[in-house]
Amino acid sequence: MDAVVLREGRPTPISIARLDTPPRLLPTHLPAVPAEERGTARRPRPQFLVIGGMVLTRCSLTYLKDAFGPSWPRLAPVKLLDKLTEYPRF
Protein backbone atom coordinates (compact mmCIF):
# COMPACT_ATOMS: atom_id res chain seq x y z
CA MET A 1 0.00 0.00 0.00
CA ASP A 2 1.32 3.43 -0.87
CA ALA A 3 0.84 6.50 1.30
CA VAL A 4 2.13 10.04 1.63
CA VAL A 5 3.47 11.42 4.92
CA LEU A 6 4.84 14.81 5.88
CA ARG A 7 8.53 14.85 6.75
CA GLU A 8 10.07 18.19 7.63
CA GLY A 9 6.99 19.88 6.16
CA ARG A 10 7.29 18.16 2.75
CA PRO A 11 5.07 15.37 1.42
CA THR A 12 7.06 12.15 1.09
CA PRO A 13 5.66 9.01 -0.58
CA ILE A 14 6.18 5.77 1.34
CA SER A 15 5.26 2.16 0.83
CA ILE A 16 3.59 0.29 3.70
CA ALA A 17 3.89 -3.48 3.83
CA ARG A 18 0.66 -5.39 4.33
CA LEU A 19 0.30 -6.77 7.84
CA ASP A 20 -1.26 -10.23 7.81
CA THR A 21 -3.08 -11.75 10.72
CA PRO A 22 -0.73 -14.11 12.57
CA PRO A 23 -1.70 -17.79 12.53
CA ARG A 24 -3.87 -18.90 15.44
CA LEU A 25 -2.23 -21.03 18.08
CA LEU A 26 -5.53 -22.54 19.18
CA PRO A 27 -8.60 -23.46 17.14
CA THR A 28 -11.42 -20.92 17.34
CA HIS A 29 -14.16 -23.52 16.90
CA LEU A 30 -14.58 -27.19 17.60
CA PRO A 31 -15.24 -29.44 14.59
CA ALA A 32 -18.90 -29.72 13.64
CA VAL A 33 -20.82 -32.93 14.28
CA PRO A 34 -22.47 -34.20 11.06
CA ALA A 35 -26.28 -33.88 11.00
CA GLU A 36 -26.83 -37.65 10.89
CA GLU A 37 -24.82 -38.10 14.10
CA ARG A 38 -26.24 -35.15 16.05
CA GLY A 39 -28.27 -37.10 18.59
CA THR A 40 -25.69 -39.77 19.25
CA ALA A 41 -22.20 -38.33 18.68
CA ARG A 42 -20.39 -36.24 21.20
CA ARG A 43 -18.24 -33.36 20.11
CA PRO A 44 -14.61 -33.91 21.15
CA ARG A 45 -13.61 -31.73 24.08
CA PRO A 46 -10.45 -29.66 23.79
CA GLN A 47 -7.46 -30.70 25.89
CA PHE A 48 -6.95 -27.14 27.11
CA LEU A 49 -8.83 -24.29 28.78
CA VAL A 50 -8.33 -20.60 27.98
CA ILE A 51 -8.98 -18.15 30.82
CA GLY A 52 -8.15 -14.49 30.35
CA GLY A 53 -5.69 -15.26 27.56
CA MET A 54 -3.81 -17.86 29.60
CA VAL A 55 -3.85 -21.40 28.21
CA LEU A 56 -4.18 -24.11 30.83
CA THR A 57 -3.51 -27.75 30.06
CA ARG A 58 -2.89 -30.90 32.07
CA CYS A 59 0.58 -31.65 33.38
CA SER A 60 2.56 -33.85 30.98
CA LEU A 61 5.78 -35.77 31.02
CA THR A 62 6.96 -33.74 28.03
CA TYR A 63 6.56 -30.51 30.03
CA LEU A 64 8.39 -31.88 33.07
CA LYS A 65 11.33 -33.08 30.96
CA ASP A 66 11.54 -29.72 29.20
CA ALA A 67 11.20 -27.62 32.36
CA PHE A 68 13.47 -29.61 34.68
CA GLY A 69 15.84 -31.44 32.31
CA PRO A 70 17.08 -35.03 32.52
CA SER A 71 16.87 -35.01 36.32
CA TRP A 72 13.18 -34.12 36.28
CA PRO A 73 12.14 -36.93 38.70
CA ARG A 74 14.45 -35.46 41.33
CA LEU A 75 14.07 -31.74 40.57
CA ALA A 76 10.33 -31.37 39.87
CA PRO A 77 8.14 -30.38 42.84
CA VAL A 78 6.29 -33.32 44.41
CA LYS A 79 2.92 -31.57 44.03
CA LEU A 80 3.56 -31.24 40.31
CA LEU A 81 4.55 -34.90 40.02
CA ASP A 82 1.26 -35.83 41.71
CA LYS A 83 -0.59 -34.02 38.93
CA LEU A 84 0.77 -36.50 36.36
CA THR A 85 -1.72 -39.10 37.55
CA GLU A 86 -4.71 -36.73 37.71
CA TYR A 87 -6.82 -36.06 34.64
CA PRO A 88 -8.84 -32.85 34.97
CA ARG A 89 -12.10 -32.48 33.08
CA PHE A 90 -12.34 -29.28 31.08
- One digit per residue, the tens of pLDDT, for the chain of length 90 reads 889 999 999 999 999 888 787 777 766 666 666 667 666 666 666 777 888 888 888 788 888 899 899 999 899 998 888 877 776 554
d(CA 78, CA 8): 63
> What is the reported pLDDT for 30?
67
Element (H, E) at 48: strand 48-51
Residue 29 lies in a domain: no
d(CA 89, CA 82): 16
- Threshold 0.85, pTM exceeds: no
Task: Report the domain count for the chain.
Answer: 1
Domain carrying residue 81? 43-90
> CB atoms < 10 A from the CB of 68, how many?
15
Residue 47 lies in a domain: yes
User: Which of 67, 65, 61 shows the shortest CA–CA distance to 83?
Assistant: 61
Residue 59 lies in a domain: yes
